[in-house]
Amino acid sequence: MVTGFSHVSIVVPDLEAAARALAERFGLTVGKPLINDQQGVRIAYVDLGNAKVELMQPSRPDSPVAKFLERNPKGGIHHFSVNVDSVDRTANELKAKGVRVLGDGTPQHSVAGARIAFIHPADFLGALVELEEHKE
């Protein structure tokens, strides 16, 4: 099932401005922006060694992240991600326990190509959780 913590994702209205603020205030280096067309986001990572902070900006108006930004114009924490050996196996085990896995069953992928799935916030103490497949 869960094998470790991966990252926390923060929605920002402006990726470049967020990167500048993190560099100026905290001395953090934000990586090169990437685009995940499937999820409708521009993403950049801050590597903290044992975890990452993922900055997300909507790349199109119909993405779920754009809807989050409409409700939270300054941005904020969107979800956190945990590593799993197999998204399919973990999702099936969770579904068998009554946990709602979001989506229509179409495989979803991270910007790096890893399989991902999301757990409904109501089933994890109000937090949106991303399962991210990492085969060791």
Q: At 17, which CATH number?
A: 3.10.180.10
Residue 92: inside a domain:
yes
Q: What is the mean pLDDT of residues 121-130?
A: 95
Amino acid in the structure at residue 85: D
Residue 2: inside a domain:
no
pTM for the whole structure: 0.89
Residue 81: inside a domain:
yes
pLDDT classification of 22: cutoffs 50, 70, 90: very high
79-104 residue pLDDT tens: 999 999 999 999 999 999 999 999 88
Residue 1: inside a domain:
no
Catalytic machinery residues: 130
What is the tally of structural domains in the chain?
A: 1
Q: What is the mean pLDDT of residues 66-70?
A: 95
> Average per-residue pLDDT in the chain?
94
Domain span including residue 37: 7-133
Residue 34: inside a domain:
yes
| DSSP per-residue letters across the chain | -EEEEEEEEEE-S-HHHHHHHHHHHH-PPB---EEETTTTEEEEEEE-SS-EEEEEEESSTTSHHHHHHHHSTT-EEEEEEEEES-HHHHHHHHHHTTPPBPSSS--EE-TTS-EEEEE-GGGTTT--EEEEE---
